Chains A and B, each alone.
Chain A
Amino acid sequence: MSAIAGTPPKSFAVTPKLDAQGEPMGELLEVSMGPHHPSTHGVFRMDVVLDGEEVVKLKPVFGYLHRNHEKIGENISYLGTMPYTDRLDYFCSMTNNWGYALTIEKLAGLGVPERAEYIRVIMAELTRLQNHTCLIGFFMQDMGALGTPMMYAFREREKILDLFESVSGARMMCNYMRFGGVRVDVNDAWLAQARKVAGEYGSFLDEFEKFLTANEILLARTQFVGVLPKDLAVNASITGPMLRASGVNYDLRKVDKYGIYSRFDFRVPVGEHGDIYDRYMVRVLEMRESIKILQQALRDIPAGPVMDPKAKLRGFRPKPGEVYGRVEGPKGELGFYVISDGSPNPYRYRVRPPSFINLTTLEDMCLGHKISDTVVILGSVDIVLGEVDR
């Protein structure tokens, strides 16, 4: 396993195992784990070269969902791109919306009322809960527990999607944040329902963990598999739970303190070994911290407007300039780089996709493991093809 910062990457020539006389034992087999496969991560292809069952080379191939999101962003107005950001990481539409709204607010110098900030935090933490829950469901499905953990995960996800639907009208593609606030206000009935969901989530996590955390099959398949060393993780621009599982304490909610995250009391779980089990545990602990943040936000949310009354939504033309805004999405650092030239459309609109960059070290993590481990390692990286390909 591989390159620490500064050393050149290994060469791409591979040879099979040699026997006592120095002759190669057998041949190498090249398998294209093609874009259509039973693991539920979308149209992602891995070209693996196998020596028996061991992986000696792995090349990820994507682009099967490249929907030219950035080109559309250049031809459409600023607000018109907001529904397209929903479809980037289609699990976490609220966080994508917040990242984009934050960037444009930075560009145009807009302020956000306090109630809207609390609502944004509540939506983002609900998104984090349902993303991590579904990820654990998919990850167990890839490991062979066909269906049942996913059923539990989706049952809880439906409760959160009901909350999203009652406030924004859509289950997944919410299109809820606006530059300078959120689109509609939440009423007391919604807040009461949200408190109920946040209160019950802890006991659901206890039930989920009872089945999974000490499960011997999970432990055998994930401990010391797919290890990502700390130096490589930082050098490869890995962010999110994958980075924190490798031992680096870098969470944008604590580093950048965007929004009003500095008001909440929560901890950042950091792993030790950087293997798949650490990533799973980091996500479970992050869910518990999210519940804490949710309960604090739901308790402290003030009354007030949710949108600046003087904000101009039609004919929005920010002054020329460029800005880079980033948020801590459930998968990692989601960044937006926007260059404005004074016209109603951006000059350049770029999305910094966490899943795309987290795939950089997939080969390093999979080398030396069996082919069945590659699927589980891919599951722990947590990719969404809408974001990888944009």
Chain B
Amino acid sequence: METLEQIKARLEAVLPMTKLDILSNECPAGDRSLLVHAASGFAVAKFLRDDPLLKLDYCSNVTGIDWPEATIKTKVKKKVAVAGVEKEIEETIETLRSGHLEVVYHLYSMELKHGPVVLRLRTENRTDNTQLPSLTPLWRGAEFQEREVYDLYGVIFEGHPDLRRILMWDNFEGFPMRRDYVAPDDFEYEPTPHDEVLAEAKKHYPVEPKSEVKP
């Protein structure tokens, strides 16, 4: 199979308005992914499925990931002149990553038996602009998995034939798999709690009357 750079070059030739990025993967055995801007997601996916060299007809996995707002600290080595002597020091640069939701597609080919090509789509933010194009019209296998990402993360897939909750009950409010979801409080009876569970269980313990003993 071609490398991601070759795929990117051919995609940019065929679809000139797309914005593509290749993301590196620090794990050596893992695959690098192709980050596609949401507006051209459908067109890129259609090319990947129909192209005779790639023929990625099998969408193996659709995953939702929640990236809340965070500051990322990266250490950078810089050459600085200190009292006339050039020294290399490490500096920490802080970048603010805005919160967004991400959907990752792992694409394989059953016909040519190669793969995977990892496709990533990101939403604008986690609050009001969480729409992404649905790839269910291209790969029917993404139907239930996209419904699950909607149910648990809140990503709204435009073009999905039947977008409703799949694992939680219909009038459930909230998106449970997000990192900031607070589970309901049912810690009344915890025989051996510790750490966070102890903090929650303590709220249910009977309040001890303060004794009036004076020293």
* B144, A359: Cβ atoms closer than 8 Å: yes
The 0/1 profile, CB within 8 Å of A marked 1, for residues 76-108 of chain B is: 000000000000000000000000000010100
Distance (whole angstroms) from the CB of B56 to the closest CB of chain A: 11
> Among the listed stretches B8-16, B25-33, B123-131, which one makes contact with chain A, having 4 or more residues with CB under 8 Å of it?
B25-33
Say yes or no: A66-B167 contact (C-beta < 8 A), given A5-B140, A232-B140, A321-B30.
yes
Contacts of A356 on B, CB cut-off 8 Å?
Answer: 144-145
A367 to chain B, nearest CB (A): 15
Q: State the Cβ distance, A358 to closest chain B Cβ, in Å.
A: 9
Known: A237-B59, A250-B113. A321 touches B26 (CB 8 A): yes
A5→B57 contact, CB < 8 A: yes
Are B168 and A66 closer than 8 Å at their CB atoms?
A: yes
Which residue of chain A is the closest to B178 with respect to CB atoms? A71
B176 contacts which of A71, A361, A389 (Cβ < 8 Å)? A71
Question: A63–B161 contact, CB under 8 A?
Answer: no
Nearest-CB residue, chain A, relative to B143: A360
* B27 & A68 in contact (Cβ 8 Å cutoff): no
CA–CA, A68 and B110, complex, Å: 31
In the complex, are the beta carbons of B58 and A326 less than 8 A apart?
A: no
Residues of B within 8 A of A238 (CB): 141
Residue of A nearest to B165 (CB): A63
Contacts of A191 in B (CB 8 A): none
Q: Are A3's CB and B140's CB within 8 A?
A: yes
Contact B27 A321 (CB under 8 A): yes
Contacts of A96 on B, CB cut-off 8 Å?
none
Nearest CB of B to A328, in Å? 13
CB neighbours of A63 from chain B (8 A) = 165-169
The interface stretch among A82-90, A167-175, A278-286, A335-343 is: A335-343
Q: Does B138 contact A (CB under 8 A)?
A: yes
Residues of chain A in range 346-373 having any CB-CB distance to chain B below 8 Å = 348, 350, 352, 356-357, 359-361
* Contact A337 B161, beta carbon cutoff 8 Å: no
A161 interfacial contact with B, CB 8 Å? no
Residues of chain B within 8 A of A339, CB atoms compared = 65
Q: State whether B61 touches A350 (Cβ < 8 A).
A: yes
Number of interface residues, chain B, beta carbon within 8 A: 39
A321, B29: Cα distance in complex, Å: 9
Tell me, yes or no, whether B133 is within 8 Å of chain A by CB: no
Q: A235-B57, A337-B104, A337-B106 are in contact. Are A321 and B25 (CB under 8 A)?
A: yes
Q: Are B106 and A324 in contact (CB under 8 A)?
A: yes
Q: Which residue of A lies closest to B104 (CB)?
A: A337
Chain A residues numbered 177-210 whose CB sits less than 8 Å from any CB in chain B:
none
Give CA–CA (A147, B48) in the complex, Å.
49
List which B17-47 residues lie within 8 A (CB) of chain A. 25-31
Contact, CB under 8 Å: B61 / A337: yes
Question: Of B61, B65, B111, B162, which one neighbours A352 at CB under 8 angstroms?
Answer: B61
A237 and B139 contacting across the interface, CB-CB below 8 Å: yes
Contact B29 A109 (CB under 8 A): yes
Query: In which size bucket is the chain A interface?
Result: 35 or more
**B176 A68 Cβ-Cβ under 8 A:** yes
Q: Is the CB of B161 within 8 A of A9?
A: yes
Residues of the A chain whose Cβ atoms lie less than 8 Å from the Cβ of B143: 236, 360
Smallest beta-carbon distance A363→chain B, Å: 11
- Residues 221-259 of A, flagged 1 when their CB comes within 8 A of B and 0 if not, give 000000000001011111000000000101000010000
Of the candidates A107, A234, A333, A361, the one whose C-beta lies within 8 Å of that of B57 is A234
Whether the Cβ atoms of B166 and A62 lie closer than 8 Å is: yes
Whether a CB of chain B sits under 8 angstroms from the CB of A159 is no
Distance in angstroms between the alpha carbons of A62 and B167 in the assembled complex: 6
In the bound complex, do residue A323 and residue B167 qualify as a contact, i.e. CB atoms below 8 Å apart? Answer: no
B 160-191 binary contact with A (CB < 8 Å = 1; else 0): 01100111110000001100000000000000
Q: Does A8 contact B (CB under 8 A)?
A: yes
A319 within 8 Å of B by Cβ? Answer: yes
Contacts of B168 in A (CB 8 A): 63, 66
Which one of B29, B31, B162, B165 has the highest number of Cβ atoms from chain A below 10 Å of its Cβ? B29
Q: Judge if B142 is at the interface, Cβ distance under 8 Å.
A: yes
**Is the CB of A320 closer than 8 A to any CB of chain B?**
yes
Q: How far is the CB of B66 from chain A (nearest CB, A)?
A: 8
Alpha-carbon distance A31/B142, docked complex (angstroms): 27
Q: Which single residue of chain B is at the shortest CB-CB distance from A361?
A: B140
Given the known inter-chain contacts A3-B140, A232-B140, A337-B106, please indicate yes or no for A255 contacting B113, CB distance below 8 A.
Answer: yes
4 smallest A-B Cβ distances: which pairs? A237-B141, A321-B27, A63-B167, A323-B30
Measured CB to CB, the residues of B under 8 A from A are 25-31, 57-61, 63, 65, 104, 106, 110-111, 113, 116, 118, 137-145, 161-162, 165-169, 176-177
Supplied contacts A63-B168, A234-B111, 6 more A-B pairs, CB within 8 Å: A6-B137, A237-B139, A250-B58, A321-B26, A321-B28, A350-B63
Q: List 14 A-B contacts (CB under 8 A).
A: A5-B57, A9-B140, A12-B162, A63-B166, A235-B141, A250-B110, A319-B27, A324-B30, A324-B31, A335-B60, A337-B61, A357-B145, A360-B144, A389-B167
